[in-house]
Amino acid sequence: MLPEYETLPIIIFTGKSLSIQEEIRIKKYASAIVLKTAESYQRLMDEIIHFLHLVESEEDKKRKKSASFSVTKDILLNKRVLIVDDDIRNIFSLTKLLEMHTMIVSTASNGNEALEMVNNNTYDMILMDMMMPELDGYMTMESIRKNDQFLTLPIIAVTAKTMLGDRQKCIESGASDYISKPVDSDQLISLMRVWLQKK
């Protein structure tokens, strides 16, 4: 690669389900990968805006970063989020991240507990781990979507991408979008901002 292009951001926008090996190869050269879904164009735009900020002058970056953070903080302020995960380490790290962004966080350690909490509380968004014992994330999302009241509730699937097609399965089971482990904090906040803007 020519030196002048080494820091040029590259975003891959594809409708192809990528294997883990393909994604690893692409990430050597790409700054972000966006898979086509019903809402992917908004997510693509968000990624483009993010990388445009990176190539601006240092002075502009500081100004835009401050403005961007203010917008994000306003959108996330006091939004109620339910984290569903059976791993206490994941719950701890995600809770810490979201509370830094002034969000109100509740947690559930399994699918059954999540269903009970969703039916008895009001949430603006759910972060759903896919791999849980007994009632996994797929079945939990399907159960949530059976209630018309929750058809538009944003649910972000958190997946380990262990198999080709996992992401499509997440969408078919009721996920609004997905993010892979290990979770990239900036990407997660950006993704949450996109979906909360739609509410």
Spatial neighbors of 124 by CB under 8 A, at least 6 apart, are 79, 80, 81, 154, 196, 199
For residue 184, the SS3 value is coil
Last residue of one domain, picked from the residues 71, 92, 112 = 71
pLDDT value for 72:
47
pLDDT value for 3:
52
Indicate if 96 and 62 belong to the same structural domain.
no
Is the pLDDT assigned to residue 121 strictly greater than 80? yes
Q: How far is CA 94 from the centre of its chain?
A: 12
Indicate if 120 and 194 belong to the same structural domain.
yes
Indicate if 56 and 90 belong to the same structural domain.
no
Where does the pLDDT of residue 197 fall: very low under 50, low under 70, confident under 90, or very high at 90 and above? confident
Over the stretch 3-54, which tens digit does the pLDDT of each residue have?
555 667 777 777 777 677 777 777 777 767 776 666 666 666 776 766 666 5
Counted domains in the chain: 2
Indicate if 44 and 93 belong to the same structural domain.
no
Where does the pLDDT of residue 59 fall: very low under 50, low under 70, confident under 90, or very high at 90 and above? low
Indicate if 7 and 101 belong to the same structural domain.
no
Last residue of one domain, picked from the residues 42, 71, 100 = 71
Instruction: Give the structural domain span for 90.
Output: 76-198
Indicate if 40 and 91 belong to the same structural domain.
no
Across the chain, mean pLDDT equals 81
pLDDT value for 117:
97
pLDDT value for 7:
63
Indicate if 47 and 89 belong to the same structural domain.
no
Q: Which of 155, 96, 90, 98 is nearest to 128 (CA)?
A: 155
Q: Which residue has the higher pLDDT, 188 or 160?
A: 188
Is the pLDDT assigned to residue 94 strictly greater than 70? yes
Q: Which of 128, 166, 155, 160 is nearest to 18 (CA)?
A: 166
Indicate if 42 and 129 belong to the same structural domain.
no
Indicate if 98 and 156 belong to the same structural domain.
yes
Structure tokens at 108: 């559930």
Lowest mean pLDDT among 27-31, 105-109, 127-131: 27-31
Q: Taking the CB of residue 173, how many other CB atoms lie within 10 A of it? A: 21
**CATH code where residue 122 lies:** 3.40.50.2300
Strand partners, 156: 127, 177
Indicate if 89 and 57 belong to the same structural domain.
no
